Structure formats: C-alpha cells, structure tokens
Structure 1
C-alpha cells in the first residue's frame, strides 16, 4: 500500500502559487488525519528553522504532534477556526483564531501563525492573518489578540496589519537556559460592519 503524500516527512514544494483556504467542517479542506500530519510536518519545519511557534531546537516531534492533536480537536469541534496556505499538495502556512467565551465572547485570540521557511517573504503570512481577521469580523468579534516573542521582529509585522502593543509579560518565554524573552501582547480592534443603507 502506498503512503499518502501528505503523510511523508519531507520538504515542502518550492514552486507554484500559494493558495489560502479555510480549514474545518463545511469547508474545502477537511481537518482530517492527512491534514493533521501535513500540519505536523509544517510545524516541525518551522520550529527546526527557529520559528517562534512554541518549540525550541532540537524539536521533539511527539510534542509537536500533541499540540497538533489539540488544534485538530478544536477545529473539528468548532472551538477554533483556521486557514491554511497550500502549494500543490503541501501545507506551507497556517493561522487560527479561537473566539472567547462568556464574558469575553466578543473577543478572540489568534494563534499558531506559521509559514514554511521556503515561503516566507512571499506574502503568504500576510494573506493568512488578513483572512483570519476577516473571519473574526464575520464571527462578530470586536477585537482580537495575539502574543509574539520579543526579539523576532514579528511585532513589526503585526503592527503593519493594524495591531498595537497592549503590554508585555516580562521573561515569559524561555528560548534557552540563559535566554528569556518577553511575550509582547498585541491587540487589533475590528471595525464594525455597517449594514448597507436600504433607503
């Protein structure tokens, strides 16, 4: 029996257009086992390249797999919504939003924003985050937040998309034994959609 292409651990395709697609129930990309393994491969590639996505080098593939399981469960249950950037058969980017609950139901949190090292600076990350922001507005969210590791330059990327720094958690992220970084908390106010004038 031939192994499904998405199950193989390999480098992502390096040529061809990048498409941004919604992931989850009722969309064109199911959050199935093949998708989970493709996301695992992406997350591992980004982590191995030093990406600020929750893991340090050397990357423990089983720990990344456990994180992927949580993401897939949240997508399948409707607790979270996501977009993937695809190139050919490969997942080369991912971003997710989790709406708040109860007293924070008007807010959401963006997480797991990652782009394959071979696709960075192509605009894929911008397109992914913009898609998540649009979806957050469609879900009725009024503001969204995210956290970035200080010293990566990612705060500048998010500022260009309209986010502002709301605070910091000092020495919150430990990259190495003697390398603690602040987590920079960033917030975006989502403009209210106005109903068209029917008069």
Structure 2
C-alpha cells in the first residue's frame, strides 16, 4: 500500500507502483543528478544506459521486498526526488535500515527539498516495524556530511580514500546515522 505525504512543494509517495513511466522518471533523475556532479554511485558524465543496470537492480530489490522506494514529485508530476530504504538481512542488525540513492534533481536543490526528502525518508523508516535508525554512506570531498548533519544525522564512521572517483582522486567513505527514537 502506498503512503503519500506532501512536504514543501513536493509530494512523496512510499512504495508507488513501478510502471514504465516511473522507471523512466527515476532513470532521468539519476542521470541528471550524476551529470550535475551528484555523488549517487557514478561519476559524470553518464548516459541512461550507464545508469539503467543499477536502477534495474534496485527496482528488483523493491519488487522482492528487500527495499522500499520513496518518490518525490513536483506539481507537474515529474519525478524530482527519491531514496531507497534497504532492510538489513543480518539477524542482529534488523533494527536499522540503509538509505541508498538519495537524490534531488538539481533544479530543486537549495530550496529545502533535500531536507523534505530526508524527513520523508525518516517517516518512511519509522513506519517499518522494529526500525530504530537509518544509516547512509556518502562520498567525502563534497560537504555532504554537513547537509546530513543538518538533517539530524551524525557521522559514525569514515574510511579514508575508500572511494576512487578517478585515478589520483580518492575520497573518504563516510557513514552517517540517524536515530529514529
């Protein structure tokens, strides 16, 4: 069952039906964010065919029940924000979820839409039985940890140089945590 909430100028839907229009909208979002310099698993420039396999993998996990999908749409119905929540499969870590592929379209950044997305992700995680926290990883060197800290997350780990975006350009892999209680 999809849950819908309006925050800022976006409408967020948890667990929407994934049809071809949504699939293509998510793909366009991921490409646009990457090509604008966003740190969402790729280094731009990328084409749709570069990103499509990663999206298919995540949507398959949604279909299988291992992930939940949150989609933010603007007033015209265009997909402009998203995030995936993945349950832990380890029996001792089921009380927290991972947030993956969290992104807001570049045209909607700087106006509070990112904070609205993070609040909607937290609400979605709270709706999941037994979930007390959200963890996410972010790429160092872009200041993302400061944005997440402003949303209530705290840095709980850092692996120096774990992300290689290009030869000679290694970035820290930063783990952030948001307690939900």
Answer yes or no: same fold by TM over 0.5. yes
Per-residue deviation at 1:165?
Answer: 0.8
Q: Which has the higher strand share?
A: 2
Mapping for residues 15-164 of structure 1, pairs under 5 Å = 18-24=9-15, 29-87=16-74, 88-101=76-89, 102-139=91-128, 140-164=130-154
Unaligned runs of 5+ in 1: 1-16, 192-199
Distance in 2 of aligned mates of 1:130 and 1:31: 22
Q: Which has the larger radius of gyration?
A: 1
Cα deviation for residue 83 of structure 1 reads 1.6
In 1: Cα distance, 2:11 partner to 2:144 partner: 20
Residues in 2 aligned to 1:18 and 1:103: alpha-carbon distance in whole angstroms: 38
Q: Which deviations, in whole Å up to 9, do the C-alpha atoms of 1:76-126 show, x marking residues without a partner? A: 222111221212131111112111122211111011111111110121111
Report how many aligned residue pairs link the two structures: 171
- Provide TM-score, normalisation by structure 1: 0.81
Q: Where do 5+ consecutive residues of structure 2 fail to align?
A: 1-7
- Check the 8 A contact 1:23/1:82 in 2, yes or no: yes
> Cα distance, 1:60 vs. partner?
4.1
Superposition TM-score, scaled by structure 2 size: 0.88
